[in-house]
Structure 1
């Protein structure tokens, strides 16, 4: 087997395992989320939504773009890894202390006394996650996604089960704190156990400068992204009820649980693989086209299908107290259509080593996003105005990102639209078929949901076959070996 065939085989296996990892762990987390949502109140999720702002910002500052810098580097040694590890830990401890000392002021700002203690405990995740950042990078760089899948699934099941027990016993919002803290603890512990990499406590300035030259632009860009993504939480948390923030937070978690596994699995596998061909634009473009079509083939029907089935899903799975969140979720599903396209196009900037463009693009995109938010607030369009503004923002973001793919590898916006238009049309027809069933009297919500799923899947597969969408065959080829791999007997 030649080098290209070996890399292709490893890439396909990596993508399958990565997809199983992200889908499996997200599916388990989603099930846990559903159980917890039935036991807890929207108010509890509103508190966690506020805490998450500070956690996400701390995570970005701790990473500082070093993870992508390490993955992109062709030659990385012990001093590089150790330098990044020491930096991660130093920043994480510093940020936790700042969060701990400012927790009372934050709780007063949001007028939530309970928030102070939650911040102090929840913030420990920053330190625990930092301890496993380099371990995760090493596994990713080596395309060891099967190990990551096992780690994430185990951590999700154990932490989720304990959290549900806490919720049943009446611990309220602390059940969610326990869930996230234990998940991160188990994940980091297993990373260290399976990877067996040990840092040397020597900080190398040359390694730091080399990696930070690439990473600092990603750092600034990611900080801006986190602030922008969470401005909705700040506005809703400050201007509306905590329950309204809970509706938004939980709806966002569920929509992200559906959209991000696809985008992240594709990004996680394609980045280290495409980085190997960063100097061959022709091969890069051809691989990139296949990645986009494959991700859209899965992402579009999933998100549109969920939007179509949202009314019955929320009634059945979350309960009556969450019905007001249905409209939130449907709008967020539309915004999620552009997430895969957005992330994959940004990936090309990193593959080509253009973190400078990554920063410029992000600044431009977020300035548009902030302008949209300002317009919504200025005209007092309310929460739904904010949500539709998010859809509009992602729409503009995609076109901006795609313009740079044309510049770097010759893959234009028109080519991308031409490549995905058939899939988009088939997905829309499928969603219309499923949504129309909401107006048919089935007498039972479970029968309605099962009917929507059956009709949606059947219509999508049939139309994909009739319109000769190649990705139908590709997905079959990728997924067919999985049952055999799972159930095959190991030789004695």
Structure 2
């Protein structure tokens, strides 16, 4: 029998090693492309992708999560799910082509239509990929998934930079996205031993579609919350301000995606296997949450503190407008880093329906909070974004506990203690360091050094925090990883 705790730890360890390489590639891409392209170029592509991303969620239809969460999955069911995803992806691609001009009209920029048309075909490719990727997750093939992610990202970055150097402008960003999707598809098919057959009429996938529809509803509402800021800024303020906002937002999301996405692929299949064992499920969820509370939380706090020299180093002096936007977003990033645990809890218990019910109430309120900042431009929207996610995290965590039977108050206490004794102080000390010296590099070094000094002090004088940090580190570092 597979030791799920060990499998989760090993899988997380390798996945995060691979993601560290992906993180370096994405940061490198951000740095280089910011010096090769204008804010308008980034804003133009963001206009298209912020709307087109809804089609990507519909294309998946929650069926990847449904397949991963299922206790048993026959080959016939897997085959039918594959064809459902391909069919939905093709339909979404056709709709995107039809709606390309109306989307461009929304922003008042005809160039957006060309971007939508260029990206539409990728929905079909992603539909093909869905069940191959889900099968790798079900089999705990975390090494293979890590290789796929890293290889696709490397190819995309290489294409984007080469295209930008040759003068392709915003099309270099489009080419990057296309390369990532195509390489991901090819490698998932290569690594996965399963192959789909013909659709089976005698095999129903209705239960998967029902579960997936709940996940889809949740994801669409979540996507609307995460992207209404781009649509609002693009429509009201134009491509330039949206380009500034999108750079700040991507700088926020790079570390979140590097940890949350791979962690979900590792944690969700493991939690689903122990969904009927309450104490074990609680223990695993607490371990998973520590990655956010002792990883992303302090990271964003320090990043907010050293935002000015960090942006100057990464993007150059022409991007100073990014600084206040990023600071406002980073505050919310702290809560987003710890908030994924609610998503895991709902899906592991098979209660995507109750999560959707919660989203129907909370997400429209969050969207209202975000759009309320529009009169103050990108900074106002960023502040509304962070406030919305802070409130949502607490509400969602408590409701998740009520629905799933997990001790959410214990999870809340664990997270609040970490934020109070670790994230808040290191962020304040990092900012203090930038005020004591001049120069980009000295400010980063002193700010980071003061933050590390506080971590060292915690380890020295607080045994409880020493144990928590050790537990978080233990989740990421365990002996060998499973073979691909």
TM range (shorter): over 0.9
Please state if 1:389 is matched with 2:404: no
Match of 1:437 among 430, 433, 438: 433
Contact 2:328 2:386 in 1 (8 A): yes
Please state if 1:117 is matched with 2:114: yes
Please state if 1:319 is matched with 2:316: yes
Q: Which has the higher contact order (CA 8 A, sep 6+)?
A: 2
Contact 1:79 1:204 in 2 (8 A): no
Cα gap change, 1:465/1:480 in structure 2, threshold over 3 Å: closer, same or farther?
farther
Cα gap change, 1:59/1:278 in structure 2, threshold over 3 Å: closer, same or farther?
same
Contact 1:237 1:245 in 2 (8 A): yes
State the 1:326 CA deviation: 1.0
What stretches of structure 1 of length at least 5 have no aligned partner? 486-492
**Residue 104 of structure 1: aligned partner:** 101
**Residue 424 of structure 2: aligned partner:** 428
**Residue 457 of structure 1: aligned partner:** 452
State the 1:392 CA deviation: 1.6
CA distance in structure 2 between the partners assigned to 1:453 and 1:351 by the alignment? 37
Deviation string 1:433-470 (CA, Å, 9 cap, x unpaired) is 1111111234x422332333333234224324422212
Moved more, 342-351 or 461-470: 461-470
Contact 1:263 1:339 in 2 (8 A): no
CA distance in structure 2 between the partners assigned to 1:464 and 1:52 by the alignment? 44
CA distance in structure 2 between the partners assigned to 1:476 and 1:334 by the alignment? 24
What stretches of structure 2 of length at least 5 have no aligned partner? none
State the 1:64 CA deviation: 0.6
SS at 2:306 equivalent: helix
Cα gap change, 1:34/1:204 in structure 2, threshold over 3 Å: closer, same or farther?
farther
SS at 1:230 equivalent: helix
Moved more, 410-419 or 23-32: 410-419
Contact 1:437 1:452 in 2 (8 A): yes
SS at 1:201 equivalent: coil
Q: How does 1:49-88 map to 2 (within 5 A)?
A: 49-88=46-85
Deviation string 1:389-417 (CA, Å, 9 cap, x unpaired) is 11121122112211223214544554223
Match of 1:466 among 449, 461, 477: 461
State the 1:103 CA deviation: 1.4
Contact 2:287 2:472 in 1 (8 A): no
Deviation string 1:55-78 (CA, Å, 9 cap, x unpaired) is 311111011111111011111121
**Residue 223 of structure 2: aligned partner:** 226
TM-score if structure 1 supplies the norm length?
A: 0.92
State the 1:30 CA deviation: 2.1
Contact 2:45 2:173 in 1 (8 A): yes
Q: CA RMSD in A?
A: 2.1
Match of 1:210 among 207, 210, 214: 207
Deviation string 1:322-380 (CA, Å, 9 cap, x unpaired) is 11011111111111111133221121111111121011011111121133245445xx3
CA distance in structure 1 between the partners assigned to 2:407 and 2:276 by the alignment? 19
Please state if 1:290 is matched with 2:303: no
Contact 1:278 1:352 in 2 (8 A): yes
Cα gap change, 1:124/1:464 in structure 2, threshold over 3 Å: closer, same or farther?
farther
Contact 1:282 1:409 in 2 (8 A): no
SS at 2:210 equivalent: helix
State the 1:121 CA deviation: 0.9
SS at 1:337 equivalent: helix
**Residue 400 of structure 1: aligned partner:** 395
Contact 1:19 1:262 in 2 (8 A): yes
CA distance in structure 2 between the partners assigned to 1:409 and 1:217 by the alignment? 16
CA distance in structure 1 between the partners assigned to 2:412 and 2:106 by the alignment? 45
Match of 1:253 among 250, 253, 263: 250
CA distance in structure 2 between the partners assigned to 1:235 and 1:149 by the alignment? 35
Match of 1:201 among 188, 198, 201: 198
